[in-house]
A and B are shown apart, each in its own frame.
Chain A
Amino acid sequence: MPFLEHLSLGQYVPTQSFVHSLDPRAKILSAIALITSVFLASTSLWPYFLWFVVLIAISALSKLSLKTIMASIKPVLILIIFTVLINLLFASGEELFRIFFISITKEGLAASIKMGLRLLFLILFANITMMTTSPIELSDGIESLLSPFKRFHVPAHEFAMMMTIALRFIPTLLDETDKIIKAQLARGADLDSGNLIKRFKAFIPVLVPLFVIVFQRADDLAIAMEARCYRGGIGRSRMKPLRWTLSDGLYLLTVLLTCASGVVLDKWVL
């Protein structure tokens, strides 16, 4: 699949490590805590050193090299660069220097570095969770975390099932897309030249068959699930129930304390 071979935004890396073996709920809650505190601690730059240390610690505990983790941001790198540039170019304040008509301000520079780092860590913490948790575990975890809200009619099980199915079909649909792209290329399609509108139009012969296949598959899957008496989450047991152990608690506690200290120090001490 030369067209879609290198797509890996937080793809699960199956190995055995401390982080891999943790309860998915501990990992999801930690990720939420980390991401929230990255946003809260925004006065100065130094909390980012703390987040970096956390990243190194998780990388060591998960047996994923820092290089692998960093590589996972590749697909969104353009977004990060774009955000940094916007912040850099369109901020008003004390001018540092100017290149032709573009003036770089002190405030703009600070804001762009912070925004860039903030986005970077946000994506890294989200990715590391997905890289160490299998899609099934992830949706089990989400279902379990959402289940207290069931009494307010939040469809926790249905939500998790939808997520599992969506994740499960990503590779299948990538294969299908690749095949359709190739089939149209074989018929002389020109998918990567011309302006934006031309390119979009060139993709219609890929998108239409893809939608047809997606609906077909959804229909088939629904019939197959019904044939096996699927009726939503009521009374459903699981083969591997989630088990909260001491190490999950300790992990979450450590992360929460680190997050809290980062935010507190940033806001009130320094």
Chain B
Amino acid sequence: MSIEVRDVSYIYHKDTPLETVSLSNVSFSVESGEWVAIVGHTGSGKTTLAQMLNGLLFPSQGEVFVDGLKLYPKAPHLKSVRRKVGLAFQYPEHQLFAETVLEEMMYAPKNFGIPEEEALRKIKEALEIFDLDEEVLSRNPFELSGGQRRKVALASIVVTEPSYLVLDEPTAGLDFKGRQGLFSVLEAFKGRGVAIVQITHDIEMVLDYCDRLLILEDGRKKLCGPPGEVVEDLIDRPAKGLVLPDILEFALHLRRAGLNVPLTWREDILLENIEKEVSSCLS
């Protein structure tokens, strides 16, 4: 069970003066239960790529398969694929429309033909995962606080129990606490075997959580692999518009200043290395 992206390219406004290549020849896969972070600068094509994973956009060249089913316009299995692959855009709270949270959360189950009783059960489960009180169901989503709106919006996406969850900058505009909360929710999903595809521009934030990092640069796959390897590769081959974790940047500055700090992506080990070097230098 996996999403396969094979040699995908995408061109916006093809055959017009505004033609721009958004993605070129990108391949990767997402296995179930895996957490993949797609990282790239603004305009690197990461959002375009995300929209291809559940058939909202179709590649100009190349193919996308979800559990072996190829995605193409008007494919008969498109709706079932969209149920399998949940997608949350940046600021998902902008999609809220209903008068009550219950109605909002019923939207996707209704569209996918889930019986009402089952849907209600799933809604309650989703609320619990997102640490929302059941009394919120009768409230108007527009009355809620920003953080709660985000939670309701995400809950209304995961309520159909997708096996893949694609999130475009899910932490944008959240404070530290909100971010921690969201990450623990995503870890809970991962624990249930749900694959997470997280799109972000911040390597440091996802480093401790993801199983694999995919770095995009100008629509091309620059690096892909376990986060540690990728980050260590990035030390020698920096990617456009991406910053390394702060502590690693600090260690690089120390090395430039003449201290021979052994580099590693592991924050705790790196801190120890820095401590050793600095203390030996002082004594």
Contacts and interface: CB of A to CB of B under 8 A. Distances in A.
Contacts of B58: 2
B54 A186 contact: yes
Interface stretch (A18-26, A58-66, A94-102, A177-185): A177-185
A5 B160 CA distance: 30
Interface in A173-197: 176, 179-180, 182-190
Contact of B95 (A2, A180, A204): A180
Nearest to A186: B87
Contacts of A5: 13
Interface stretch (A33-41, A43-51, A158-166, A206-214): A206-214
Contacts, number: 64
A190 B111 contact: yes
A148 interface: no
A209 B51 CA distance: 20
B96 A188 contact: no
A1 B51 CA distance: 11
Contacts of A1: 12
Nearest to B58: A2
B107 interface: yes
Interface-centre pick from B56, B108, B112 (highest chain A CB count, 10 A): B56
A188 B108 contact: yes
Interface string B81-124: 01100110100101111100000000110011000000000000
B56 A186 contact: yes
A179 B89 contact: yes
A209 B108 contact: no
Contacts of B276: none
B97 A188 contact: no
B102 to A, nearest CB: 15
Contact of A188 (B57, B89, B92, B160): B160
A188 B51 contact: no
B57 A186 contact: no
B158 to A, nearest CB: 11
A249 interface: no
Contact of A186 (B94, B96, B142, B157): B157
Contact of B83 (A188, A189, A204, A206): A188
B252 to A, nearest CB: 38
B97 A205 contact: yes
A176 B95 CA distance: 10
Contacts of B56: 182, 185-186
Contacts of A212: 94, 96, 142
B163 interface: no
A2 B107 contact: no
B97 A208 contact: yes
Contact of B96 (A2, A182, A209): A209
A2 B57 contact: yes
A71 to B, nearest CB: 11
Interface in B14-37: none
A188 B79 contact: yes
B156 interface: yes
Contact of B94 (A2, A180, A189, A190): A180
Nearest to A187: B108
19 contacts: A1-B12, A5-B13, A179-B94, A180-B95, A184-B107, A185-B56, A186-B54, A186-B56, A187-B95, A187-B111, A187-B160, A188-B82, A188-B83, A188-B160, A205-B97, A205-B107, A209-B94, A212-B94, A213-B94
Given A186-B157, A208-B98, 10 more contacts: A183-B87, A183-B94, A183-B95, A187-B108, A187-B157, A188-B108, A205-B98, A205-B107, A209-B97, A212-B94
User: Closest 9 A-B residue pairs measured CB to CB?
Assistant: A188-B111, A208-B97, A183-B95, A187-B108, A186-B87, A205-B97, A188-B112, A182-B56, A183-B89
Interface of A: 1-2, 5, 176, 179-180, 182-190, 204-209, 212-213
